[in-house]
């Protein structure tokens, strides 16, 4: 069984988050994903503390496809240095097999 990951990024508005989600799934870099938000955020940027509202994009893919998905999200994102992170993804064998097929 291939290794799988759940990838996340954020955007400052719903429309951008949906564009990132749709473009990644249409390119088969991710099998599926969701957009959640808005969420309150606190962060450090350019040495200053800030707060705001963000929308989270969560995507499911394989470890093999992750580098391409990461590059796609960074290239398509309007921010200079967007968050793109992942965590290992476990689940039912049938679901993970589907993720592998959908991103092949």
Question: Residue 79 carries which DSSP code?
Answer: S
Percent above pLDDT 90 for the chain: 97
Question: Would you say 99 and 7 are in contact if contact means Cβ atoms under 8 Å apart?
Answer: no
CATH, residue 30:
3.30.70.120
The dihedral region occupied by 7, where left means phi > 0, alpha psi between -120 and 50, and beta the remainder, is beta
| pLDDT tens digits, 37-54 | 999 999 998 999 999 999
How many structural domains are present in the chain?
Answer: 1
DSSP string, 31-56: SEEEEEEEEEEEEEETTEEEEEEEEE
| pLDDT tens digits, 60-89 | 999 999 999 999 999 999 999 999 999 999
- Give the domain extent around 45: 4-102
The pTM score is 0.93
């Amino acid at each position: 069984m291939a290794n799988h990951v759940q990838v996340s990024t954020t955007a400052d508005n719903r429309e951008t988050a949906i564009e990132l989600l749709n473009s990644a799934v249409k390119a088969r870099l991710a099998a599926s994903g969701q957009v959640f938000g808005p969420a309150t955020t606190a962060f450090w940027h350019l040495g200053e503390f800030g707060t705001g509202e963000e929308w989270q994009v969560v995507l499911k893919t394989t470890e093999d496809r992750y580098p391409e998905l990461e590059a796609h999200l960074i290239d398509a994102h309007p921010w200079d240095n967007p968050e793109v992170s992942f965590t290992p993804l476990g689940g039912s064998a049938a679901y993970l097999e589907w993720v592998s097929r959908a991103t092949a």
